[in-house]
């Protein structure tokens, strides 16, 4: 019955978080000085400058997402490689190996698609 423990922890965390937020609101009070000087930007002693035309390239986000995606693949491979001998000794090494090869095949296909579509080129 592991699902009951997950539900209990989820409810406990939600209630505990809500209580902490309420305590912070009651104990912390409210800010009374809401002047324009308080709301003004401050950076290293210089007057702040709003730059509304700053654009971040989509290539940056694409590269970051692809890095996270392939990093997660390595996170899945590491525990699998550590426990694969136990699966072999238990007699279920074949299905576990086939499922990991399907997983790797999907990611290798994704890597080839990524290179073919030139997703990592910064032209």
pLDDT tens per residue, range 93-115: 899 999 999 988 988 898 888 88
Which residue, chain included where needed, has tokens 């940056």?
Answer: 60
Q: Are strands 42-43 and 46-47 parallel, antiparallel or unpaired?
A: antiparallel
CB 42 within 8 A of CB 48: yes
CB 118 within 8 A of CB 66: no
pTM over 0.95: no
Residue 91 has what DSSP assignment?
T
CB 119 within 8 A of CB 66: yes
Query: Is the dihedral angle over the CA atoms 91, 93, 98, 103 positive or is it negative?
Result: positive
Residues in the chain where the model's pLDDT stays below 70: 1, 31, 41-54, 123
Mean pLDDT of the chain: 83
**Confidence (pLDDT) at 11:** 95
3-state SS assignment for residue 71 = helix
Containing 120, the helix (H) or strand (E) segment is none
């Amino acid at each position: 019955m592991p699902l009951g423990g997950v539900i209990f922890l989820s409810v406990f965390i939600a209630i505990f978080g809500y209580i902490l937020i309420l305590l912070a609101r009651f104990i912390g009070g409210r800010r009374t000085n809401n002047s324009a000087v308080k709301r003004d930007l401050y950076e290293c002693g210089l007057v702040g400058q709003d730059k509304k035309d700053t654009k971040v390239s989509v290539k940056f986000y694409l590269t970051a997402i692809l890095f996270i995606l392939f990093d997660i693949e390595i996170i899945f491979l590491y525990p699998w490689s550590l426990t694969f001998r136990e699966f072999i000794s238990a007699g279920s090494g074949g299905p576990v190996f086939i499922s990991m090869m399907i997983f790797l095949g999907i990611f290798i296909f994704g890597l080839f698609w990524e290179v073919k579509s030139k997703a990592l080129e910064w032209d």
